[in-house]
Amino acid sequence: MPTTIEDKISLFTKVLIERIESDYTEKQKKLMSYYESRKLGIIKDYEEKTKAAIDDATKNAEIKKQQMISKAKSDMHLAVLKQRREFTERIMDEVRKEAEAFGKTPEYVEFLRQAIKKVSSQFTDNDFVSYSFSRNDIEKHRDIILNTIKLFRDEGNFKIEEANNIIGGVFARDGDGGVEVDLTVNSIIEESRKLIGEILSSKFNERW
């Protein structure tokens, strides 16, 4: 069976995450070491200051100590979130490049054909359907697009149009916009973002 873009992106994402995990772990250890050292320094400093203090002063110092420890933990959490976002965007950039490269392969033509079939099957015979494609697909694969659509719809019961925001695949809607079906490469990439976020969270949350 032809390899789908979903399979390619899923495999590529797994390989990429494995490749950067060691880099992430090293940065993570340094970050943990920094904040642990900072926390211990705060504790030591306030323990020394409170030894000879009266009860009220000790209580105030303890409150202040906990506030600073809490802030250190909060700073660490924010730093981790920032680092995770950076890794997500780094992976997403690679996914976009992989998707663009896939659009230039023979396998993409079959993906496009199957996407059109899946989209078309969601509408009734009476629906007038507008199909949106990238400019590149309309220019290079117009015959394939039209021939595939005509397997499902009569000549005057559909139209194709160019959409500047579509990378590849197809978006379709009926005449009144009540039914919309999105099988664009864009939507697949966004689904990959969710998958990447889930993978990063499951892999690294347990370490913090």
β-bridge partners, 118: none
Q: How confident is the model at residue 75 (pLDDT cuts 50, 70, 90)?
A: confident
19 with 69, same domain: the answer is yes
Please report, for the domain that includes residue 161, its CATH number.
3.30.2320.30
The stretch 76-96 carries a mean pLDDT of 81
- pLDDT on residue 51: 66
The stretch 49-73 carries a mean pLDDT of 74
pLDDT exceeds cutoff 50 at 55:
yes
Alpha-carbon gap, residue 185 to 179, rounded angstroms: 19
Tokens of 129: 């359907």
pLDDT exceeds cutoff 60 at 94:
yes
Average pLDDT, the chain: 82
98 with 109, same domain: the answer is no
98 with 2, same domain: the answer is yes
Tokens of 139: 């220019």
29 with 90, same domain: the answer is yes
Which residue is it, tokens 């995990």?
Answer: 21
132 with 171, same domain: the answer is yes
pLDDT exceeds cutoff 80 at 4:
no
96 with 6, same domain: the answer is yes
Question: What are the distances in angstroms from CA 107 to CA 21, 69, 113, 114, 117?
Answer: 30, 55, 10, 11, 16
98 with 123, same domain: the answer is no
83 with 170, same domain: the answer is no
- pLDDT on residue 1: 46
pTM of the shown model: 0.61
Higher pLDDT, 120 or 12: 120
* Residue 196 domain boundaries: 105-206
Q: Parallel, antiparallel, or unpaired: how do β-strands 158-162 and 129-133 relate?
A: parallel
Residue that finishes a domain, picked among 85, 103, 121 = 103
Higher pLDDT, 208 or 72: 72
Long-range (24+ apart) CB contacts under 8 A made by 165-169 are 166/132, 166/133, 166/134, 167/99, 167/100, 167/103, 167/134, 168/99, 168/102, 168/103, 168/108, 168/112, 168/134, 168/136, 168/137, 169/111, 169/112, 169/115
122 with 194, same domain: the answer is yes
- Provide the number of structural domains found in the chain: 2
42 with 118, same domain: the answer is no
Higher pLDDT, 198 or 124: 124
40 with 91, same domain: the answer is yes
Q: How confident is the model at residue 171 (pLDDT cuts 50, 70, 90)?
A: very high
The stretch 25-51 carries a mean pLDDT of 72
52 with 99, same domain: the answer is yes
Residue that finishes a domain, picked among 103, 126, 143 = 103
Higher pLDDT, 187 or 25: 187
Alpha-carbon gap, residue 15 to 206, rounded angstroms: 21
Residue that finishes a domain, picked among 57, 74, 103 = 103
